[in-house]
Amino acid sequence: MATLEKEIWVNQLMENFYPDSSFLKYARDFSALVDYNAINMAEAGADPKVLVNNTTYPIKITQRVDKPLRIELDKFETENTLVRRPEAIEYSYDQLESVLMGHRNTLRAKTAMKAAHAYAPQEDSTYTPVIQTTGAVVSGRKRLQIDDILLLKERYDNAMIPLEGRYLVLNPSHVTDLILFDAKNLGNLTDLQNGKPKRFAGFNILQTASTPKYNSSLQKIAFDGEEEGNFCSFSFHSDEVMKADGDVFMYARENDPAERGTIVGFDKRFIALPIRNKGVGAIVSASSL
């Protein structure tokens, strides 16, 4: 494929890469800070204290010390796909274009999975609440109930996380729990016809199947870890999480004589992280045992 054609496909790959239904749409975009697939920034030092009705002068001078940070973007690579020319000719649609969009979808899913894991806190703390569900038992787990979301809200309130910009990203099983609650109680928490949660308790509510897992000690299990654990829903404040896109490169070998077709694959650089480990939380699906 010519260079220009590659550029067109790369642009199409990134077009609407973060749709409105994606939680990544609502994270701060640090892509402008990316230089050679890394972000060079500083971890902010301590904020100044506020004095009330002070009578002692001169006021103390403190210097803020910022710590330099360099964040390397993760590298996501798709496996190569072969489209044989004789097969492509037989189809009435452009099979190659379909294959390329398949690469786009898998990259979007994997980057979202990595971001969801990053946004969920490692463990419970004052500014990173991790709580458990307390509802009725079903299939070895306790359902999500309204009280659990209200407790998460209270924990955010106590940590003085701003009300505007809070997001709760529900695992599909927790969405089902809310829909069942609504159906039984004639509530108004979900759009029953479309199966979508509505804004509730100050949280804009989204959903994804790509939620991380926690062990019995409420410690987050490593990304792609093999340890058994319980799934969660996670939450964040939009000012406290970031994402950044780096280079996207398309590999292509057109009209390969041995394979009698075209071989394509993609690389994409991406990172998503909490900015200062504050204003992120999780509701872990508790075991009934």
Buried b / exposed e across 257-289, counting CB within 10 Å, b at 16+?
eeeebbebebebbbbbbbbeebbbbbbbbbeee
pTM for the whole structure: 0.86
What dotted CATH number matches 1-37+74-289? 3.90.1690
* Residues 93-132 pLDDT 10s: 566 778 888 998 999 999 999 999 999 999 999 999 999 9
Average pLDDT, the chain: 89
**Percent of the chain scored above 70 by pLDDT?**
91
* Residues 180-229 pLDDT 10s: 988 887 677 777 566 678 889 999 999 999 999 999 999 999 998 888 99
What are the domain boundaries of the chain?
1-37+74-289
* Residues 215-265 pLDDT 10s: 999 999 999 888 899 999 999 999 999 999 999 999 988 888 888 888 889
